[in-house]
Amino acid sequence: MKKIFLDNITLPEQLRQLNEKNLPTVCNELRQFIIDHVAQTGGHFASNLGSVELTVALHYVFNTPEDEIVWDTGHQAYPHKILTGRKGKFDTIRKYKGLSGFPSPEESPYDTYYVGHAGTSISVALGLAKARDLKNKNNHITAVIGDGALTSGLAFEGLNNSHNAKRFIVILNDNEVSISKTMGAFAKHFSKIVANPKFRNFKQKTGRVIAKIPIVGNAITRIILRLQGGIKHILAPQNVFENLGFHYIGPIDGHNVKELVEILRMCKTETEMPVLLHVMTKKGYGFKPAESDPESYHGVTPFDKTVGLSNGEKSAPTYTETFSEIICNAADENKKIVVISAAMCSGTGMTKFAKENPKRFVDVGIAEQHAVTFAGGLAARGMIPVVTIYSTFLQRAYDEIEHDVCLPNLPVIFAVDRAGLVGGDGKTHHGVFDISYLRHLPNMKIFMPRDKIAMEKVLAFAIENKSPCAIRYPRGEVLQSTCNLPDFAEEKITSWEILKSGDDIILIAIGQMVSRAFKTAEILEKNGINATVIDACAIQPLDEKTLLFVAEKCKKIVTLEDHILAGGFGAAIVEKLSDENINCKIVRIGIEGKFIEHGSINELYSELGWQPERLAEKIIEEMKITKS
């Protein structure tokens, strides 16, 4: 369907040429464009529908890209991408070799910084502002952060350091939702601000009237802004942002684009102190199903926009769903289990646990460092804390894992979801570093169960264990149970499982690479090469007995992991065999020191050369194996 204005907007310059009265139509067209395309491609949905008016207003008022906008997390930046030269490629978003689902400077000069993890925008924007000042420039810097991301400790570190910033605006996009509902005292504080309309109504009514006075209206408006602080003390309580040195404005309606334009123009006039503009939006705005259920519509697969999401045919359970079932069953038996989430209750599959065990579930908000140290405190007093977290977010709490869990040797269980490649979210979200930063920590045990039975037995061991334990599992459907692991006695649970025996070569794999190792072995067998295939569920400690046995038997070993090679599982094998003075030919299959782009898992595996046929070719070539 033809869009009167949006069809003629390629870059923000065209947007800024429009009459202000046409902006609501632009917003409607932009919102419909997102609905039409994301329904076909999938991707982040509800958050982008909620940021349409704010995005249009920002690009209309500010001279982007000279005036710089830093988006926090970035899953609300689809409107920004559409208005900044990427509308024609939007059907490629999150697809292999297509547009990134997050801001990326490689794509556009309008994307000021790489984004993907929450809480970074204020610190980044402050750094840009400082660099601008040192270069004697006078452009504006704006950071856009959601109320969920503002629970991040990093965000408050940035706010605390911003008190002297000039031409610096922080926009709090407050929709009361991160992915799950925003939790904690700051969410309550925002609610109190919103609930007290006295000052908001006064400012909005007087501001509109005064600004319309010919010639002197804008000048008087600037004076009103200077006087606002005193008026606030009379009409409304002081808030935390004012105490941090910000000129606070709001809250205002984030879906009234004309009002947003007015207020942003006023914000531009304040150049001597930082401004915090509090904007109220609704996640999923303009699409009723997403408005009523923003959590389900946060990230979507393709759907019929006329009916919304449907349950459809039930697919096989995922690793996340499987862990959810197992931890719920375990918690029924053991009342010491406490689950901790960092604003990812639904993402980590803990909705059911939270509902069944409300007193033993804690959502700390986007505060991974706090989640880990909080878990340490629980463990120090006899509880069994389970930190459910994506691999890519766990790395944000490295110091706390080392200092507050491993050093005191506390039995904290880390349920490391999304371990390995994750697909469309791309390089900011692939979980390919955790083995490297966990395995060198004293007292830490690491497992990667390949199916439900193995996961049950590993979790049972971790619950009885008296030291830190990480259980890694990938995104996607769980493998059918074929595991023959024994019960959870430590000397048994750390044993590797030999799935196939052969005398010519040893394939040792973890996680999703186990099935590929098995298929590779079948291809090798057709070439007259007999391979042993081992599932190394226990990554740390290594099953030294099995490793040394097979290494002595066969001097050719291949390790397979969907993880960075530096410091990874294969590196652990090399180190151990070196320590034991066992001379083997070793080929390590993994990621060689680079960030992996977005795309489907199969496409990414293909790019890396991980199809069984190519793995077999690589092994034959590098090992120079003679047929048995």
Q: Catalytic residue numbers?
A: 283, 368, 396
* Cβ-contact 492, 590 below 8 angstroms: no
How long is the chain? 628
Q: Taking the mean position of all CA atoms in its chain, how far away is CA 77?
A: 14
Distance from the Cα of residue 241 to its chain's centroid: 26
CA distances from 50 to 16, 31, 297, 572 (A): 21, 9, 12, 47
- Nearest CA to 503 among 628, 316, 353? 628
Residues 196-222 as b/e (b if ≥16 CB within 10 A, e otherwise) read eeebbebbbeebeebeeeeeeeeeebe
| Amino acid making up residue 537 | C
- Please tell me the distance from the alpha carbon of residue 430 to that of residue 604, in angstroms, as a whole number: 11
Under a CB-based contact definition with an 8 Å cutoff, are residues 517 and 568 in contact? no
Q: Do 108 and 69 meet the contact criterion of CB atoms below 8 Å apart?
A: no
Is residue 446 within a helix (H) or strand (E), and if so which, with residue range?
Answer: strand 445-447
Strand, helix or coil at 159? Answer: helix
Q: What is the DSSP string of 255-291?
A: T-HHHHHHHHHHHHH--SS-EEEEEE--TTTT-HHHH
Enter the tokens of residue 276: 């915090």
State yes or no: cis peptide before 65, omega within 30 of 0: yes
Q: How many CB atoms lie within 10 A of CB 580?
A: 13
| CA distance readout (Å), 442 to 299, 404, 447, 470 | 37, 12, 15, 13
What distances in angstroms separate CA 455 from CA 319, 340, 345, 438, 608, one per listed residue?
A: 9, 19, 20, 19, 28
Cβ proximity of 101 and 146 under 8 Å: no
Residue environment code for 244-257, b if the CB has 16+ CB neighbours within 10 A, otherwise e: bbbbbbbbbbbbbb
As a whole number of angstroms, the distance between CA 289 and CA 79 comes to 20
At which residue do the structure tokens 């909005």 appear? 204
Which residue spans within 164-290 are E strands per DSSP?
Answer: 168-174, 247-253, 275-280
How many angstroms separate the CA atoms of 121 and 142, rounded?
A: 9
End-to-end CA distance of the chain: 65
